[in-house]
Amino acid sequence: MIRVGVVGATGKMGREVCVAVSAAPDLELVAAVSRSRAGETAADALGIEGSDLVLSDALASLDDASADVLVDFTSPAYAAEHVAWGIEHGMHVVVGTTGFEIDEAWRDAPVGIVIAPNFAIGAVLMMRFAEEAARYFDAAEVIELHHDEKADAPSGTAIATAERIGAAREGSWSPPAGDDRHPGARGTDVGGVRVHSVRLPGLLAHEEVILGGAGQTLSIRHDSTSRSSFMSGVLLAIRAVGERPGLTVGLDALLD
């Protein structure tokens, strides 16, 4: 049985993780950290029927509960601090927060650390397919669409996708400069690939890669219409992180 503590437990993603962990027969939710709902039970705050786990506002509750894995879905301002705390306390760490800087020293950590820009298996496959296609299409652009409360732009998934496309290209391609009267109209440049971000209510998490060549285009798209789409990847990471000391970025290695 893997003992799991979730930090950011009452956030939109954290709540889903807590419910998924509680339902998994080989995992146990032993701690949940929430600044806004500390002192409430998981039954009341998270809707986990019959759970008498009391939410805390302190990371120390994970140590007190002897958690094996810390799962972080908080914000870029705190994620790195939480990873460092997990390392210090001998706890494996799974991170779904994006928009923060990864410390290269984590590669030598004695515990496992899995950081993924996207836990949806379909999104991971989309990145793989785009990387493969980039060997044949030098011209490519990425459009990512998310809900209007997402803190970072471009998304971590879009950045990772663009970097993989740029590294896989056989040649090089320079997009047109665009209209200088409207700076930013061409999106941002990530490794030579243009990335465009959309933020609107009604969206969740979506990404499309459009590759162009002579007389043809190729579009690869993934849509998450529910946060449940991320849970299979989160649970995969929780189960695998203990066998992977040091830093693993992305789910690709876990799928292999």
* Confidence check: pLDDT of 175 > 90: no
Amino acid at 230: F
Query: Is 54 exposed, middle or buried (CB count within 10 Å of its CB: 0-12, 13-18, 19+)?
Result: middle
Tokens standing for 12?
């939109």
242 — pLDDT class (breaks 50, 70, 90): very high
Mean pLDDT, to the nearest integer, of 112-117?
A: 94
Which part of the chain has CATH 3.40.50.720? 2-115+228-255
Protein fold of 121-225: Dihydrodipicolinate Reductase; domain 2 (3.30.360)
Does the annotation mark 150 as catalytic? yes
Q: CA 235 to CA 256: how far, in whole Å? A: 16
Q: Per-residue pLDDT tens for 3-44?
A: 999 999 999 999 999 999 999 999 999 999 999 999 999 999
Mean pLDDT, to the nearest integer, of 73-88?
A: 96
Report the 10 Å Cβ neighbour count for 109: 18
* Confidence check: pLDDT of 74 > 80: yes
Average of per-residue pLDDT values in the chain: 94
CATH class of 2-115+228-255: alpha beta
In 91-186, alpha helices (H)? 121-133, 156-168
Mean pLDDT, to the nearest integer, of 198-208?
A: 96
* Confidence check: pLDDT of 172 > 90: no
The one-character DSSP state at 54 is B
* Confidence check: pLDDT of 203 > 90: yes
Which part of the chain has CATH 3.30.360.10? 121-225
Strands 69-72 and 2-7: parallel
C-alpha to C-alpha distances, 100 to 49, 80, 156, 161, 208, nearest whole angstrom: 34, 7, 9, 17, 23
Percent of the chain with pLDDT over 90: 85
Which of the following is catalytic: 146, 196, 206, 222?
A: 146
C-alpha to C-alpha distances, 5 to 191, 223, 245, nearest whole angstrom: 36, 28, 19
Mean pLDDT, to the nearest integer, of 201-206?
A: 96
What pLDDT does residue 33 have?
97
What pLDDT does residue 256 have?
73
* Confidence check: pLDDT of 50 > 80: yes
What pLDDT does residue 36 have?
92
From 135, 136, 132, select the one nearest 252 (Cα to Cα).
132
pTM of the model: 0.84
* Confidence check: pLDDT of 200 > 90: yes
Tokens standing for 105?
């020293």
Q: CA 138 to CA 194: how far, in whole Å? A: 12
Q: Per-residue pLDDT tens for 118-136?
A: 899 999 999 999 999 999 9
What pLDDT does residue 213 have?
93
What pLDDT does residue 179 have?
74
Does the annotation mark 12 as catalytic? no
